Amino acid sequence: MTAEEKSKVYNFLKTASSWSYGYPSPTFKEEPAFEDDIEIPEEHEEIKAQEQVQVQPQISQIPAEQNSAEKVPSQGATLESIAAKIALCKNCVLCKARTNTVPGEGVKNPYVMVIGEGPGEDEDKTGRPFVGKAGQLMNMAFQGLGIKRQEVYITNIVKCRPPANRVPEQDEAETCLNYLRNQVILVKPKVIVLLGSTALKNVLGKEYSITASRGKWIEQKGIMYMPTWHPAALLRDENKKIEFWKDLKVVVKFFNKSGVEDEK
Ligand code: SF4
Q: Sorting pLDDT into bands at 50, 70 and 90, what band is 184?
A: very high
State whether CATH 3.40.470.10 applies to domain 40-263: yes
Percent of the chain, pLDDT > 90? Answer: 56
Percent of the chain, pLDDT > 70? Answer: 76
Q: What is the mean pLDDT of residues 201-206?
A: 95
**Closest ligand 1 atom number to CA of residue 158:** 1
Expressed in angstroms and rounded, the spacing between residue 105 Cα and the centre of ligand 1 is 17
C-beta separation of 163 from 121 below 8 A: no
Expressed in angstroms and rounded, the spacing between residue 185 Cα and the centre of ligand 1 is 19
Distance CA 24, CA 16 (A): 10
Give all strands of the β-sheet with 218-220 in edge-to-edge order.
Answer: 105-106, 152-156, 112-116, 191-195, 223-228, 218-220
pLDDT tens string 89-121: 999 999 999 999 999 999 999 989 999 999 999
Q: Sorting pLDDT into bands at 50, 70 and 90, what band is 9?
A: confident
Average pLDDT, the chain: 82
**Ligand 1 site-directed mutation target among 90, 160, 177, most atoms within 8 Å of CB:** 160
pLDDT for 257 equals 65
**Ligand 1 site-directed mutation target among 71, 176, 180, 183, most atoms within 8 Å of CB:** 176
Structural element, H or E, at residue 228: strand 223-228
What ranges do the domains of the chain cover?
A: 40-263
Distance CA 201, CA 185 (A): 19
